[in-house]
Structure formats: C-alpha cells, structure tokens
Homo-oligomer: A and B are copies of this chain.
Amino acid sequence: MMREFDESSITDAVVARMAGASSERARHISEALVRHLHAFVREIRPSAEEWEAGIGFLTATGQKCDDKRQEFILLSDTLGVSTLVDAINNPVTGDVTETTVFGPFYVPPPEFGLGQDMGAAIEGLPMLVSGRVRKSGGAAAAGAIIDVWHSDEAGFYDVQQMDKTGGLAGRGRFIADTDGAFHFWTRRPAAYPIPTDGPVGDMLAAQGRHPWRPEHIHFKITAPGCRPLVTHVFAQGDAYLDSDVVFGVKESLIQPYVVHANAEEVQGRPVNGPWVSLDHTFVLDDQQG
C-alpha cells in the first residue's frame, strides 16, 4: 500500500512516484535529487525550526535575484558547485587552456578594434593586454572572437554601478588577426569581495569564510571548429589565490600583471605614469569540435 511512510520508506516511495516521468533524463535527475536530498536530511536530522530556516534561506535567495543580481549562481559558486560542473564539462585535454567559472557578470560586450581602449569609462592604471589564440592542432585561430570583462580598480563591474559608468565599461569584444594575435588597452582591475548583502553573505559569515576573489580578467573565446573557452587570467602574487571564495583558480591561469615605471607613451598611446601589461596565449580545443 502506498501510504504510511516512515523515515526509511519515504525515499523509495517518492522515487516510485516518478516512474512515469516525461523523459528518462527527467526521471534520472529527479530520482538522484530525491535520494541525495533525503540522505542529506537523514544525516543532519533537522529540527522543525531548522527546516523552516532552510525554507527561509532558499526563499530569500530567490527573492534577491533580479536582472542585475543572480544570488543562486552566487550560491552555486560559493558552494563549489559551479567549479564542479565546469570540471565535469571541461576535462583537461593536452595543452588546451583550462576553463574556470563563468560568474554572474557577463553581458554581450561592445566590439572594439585591435589596440583600442575598452576601459575609458572606468578608473585604474592603464593596462595593455596582448596575446594570441591558437588551436590545439597547432594552427593560429585567425579571427577568433575574444570577449573580455573585468572589474574597475575598486572591484566593481559596470553592471553593479551603471549610475557611475553610464553604460557598459571595462568589457569589450575583439577579433584576433590572421595570426590569432590581439592586443587592447583597458584599466587594471582589482581583487574584490562578492556581494555580501544577501543570503549568500549570511551563509559565508556562518561558515567563517571571507568573500574575496583574487584579481582576474574574464575571457570567453570562440572560433569556428573549436570548443568555446570560458576562463580567467589571474594576477600572479594576489593574496587570495589560495582562498578564492568561488574556487576558480588554476595554476595555469596565473600570469604576471607586470607593473612598468612611468612612461610618457607606450605604442603611440599617451600614458604619463606607471602602467601595467599582461600577455597570455590561449589554446582552443579543435579536436572535440
């Protein structure tokens, strides 16, 4: 009889109820969710008050989301789920550039010509970013599309402060040349804390964790016949490389952000002070399509 469930029989009963799911995938995901969720509940044995607190936490997390804030992605990031999903979908392959988390701050960027400045509307040291994109088979990824985004020197993205930047800023799209090479100007970003004024901030506090991410620049690179690459380049020497709150750091993604002494001009661009450079080679996977 399908009634009268106790602490151990309830799990199979719920799973049995899903036998007629709309697809085998929906059935598998539902069954796994129920088994793991029930195992979690059986392990922690929540009181009625703790269960209520859990319901309240999830509700508040959903209600913190709007078109500029995604608190559930932040929760996934800070619990290491985003890094796990990334690892599952992007296994390390030969010398292909490693991936890392996408984060919540991407929006399609405005296009710039090579050598142009995508950071004019934000504060920070002038920074020259250069590099090249090639395929794991060896060929240059001519015409690769390179989307770049990063914070300003105070650690805020444009979408967090549109009233200040007056629009998208510190992000751009560049098209690699026939050798796969690219270069552009921007402003040096900074390490920053993820937003802590929501449920995820409360969770980090309860877990005794700081909310900081090491300084980084996001890259999303695509080219025909290649697997899309979503990654960061982190600043060597940053204090938070070993404790990134979203677990995104990989050794191969750390590069020197080289600080140069005062200069009047670099590559024809007026600088009039110290400036920063970063150079990195990205390798796309053209074996898995």
Bitwise, A251-267 to B at CB < 8 A (1) or not (0) is: 10000000000000000
Contact B36 A43, beta carbon cutoff 8 Å: yes
A192 within 8 A of B: no
Q: Whose C-beta in chain B lies nearest to the C-beta of A38?
A: B84
Contact B5 A87, beta carbon cutoff 8 Å: yes
Q: In terms of DSSP, what is the predominant structure of the interface of chain A?
A: helix
A44 to chain B, nearest CB (A): 5
A10 to chain B, nearest CB (A): 5
A162 within 8 A of B: no
Contact B51 A40, beta carbon cutoff 8 Å: no
Contact A37 B79, beta carbon cutoff 8 Å: yes
A28 within 8 A of B: yes
Contacts of A120 in B (CB 8 A): none
Bitwise, A69-82 to B at CB < 8 A (1) or not (0) is: 01011001001111
A interface, CB within 8 angstroms of B: 1-7, 10-11, 13-14, 17-23, 26-30, 32-34, 36-48, 50-51, 55, 58-63, 65, 70, 72-73, 76, 79-85, 87-89, 92, 203, 205-209, 241-244, 247, 249-251
Q: How far is the CA of A1 from the CA of B250 in the complex (A)?
A: 10
Given A206-B21, A207-B26, A208-B21: A70 and B59 interface contact (C-beta under 8 Å): yes
Q: How far is the CA of A17 from the CA of B211 in the complex (A)?
A: 12
Contact B6 A48, beta carbon cutoff 8 Å: no
Write 13 A-B pairs (CB below 8 A) sorted by A numbering: A1-B242, A3-B249, A3-B251, A4-B250, A5-B83, A10-B83, A10-B87, A13-B247, A17-B207, A27-B207, A36-B43, A51-B82, A59-B70
Contact B30 A207, beta carbon cutoff 8 Å: yes
Contacts of A27 in B (CB 8 A): 207
Q: How far is the CA of A61 from the CA of B43 in the complex (A)?
A: 25
A99 to chain B, nearest CB (A): 10
Contact B81 A38, beta carbon cutoff 8 Å: yes
Q: How far is the CA of A208 from the CA of B24 in the complex (A)?
A: 11
Contacts of A4 in B (CB 8 A): 249-251
Q: How far is the CA of A205 from the CA of B39 in the complex (A)?
A: 25
Contacts of A241 in B (CB 8 A): 3
Q: How far is the CA of A23 from the CA of B84 in the complex (A)?
A: 26
Q: Whose C-beta in chain B lies nearest to the C-beta of A56?
A: B72
Contacts of A251 in B (CB 8 A): 1, 3-4
A131 to chain B, nearest CB (A): 22
Contact B87 A72, beta carbon cutoff 8 Å: no
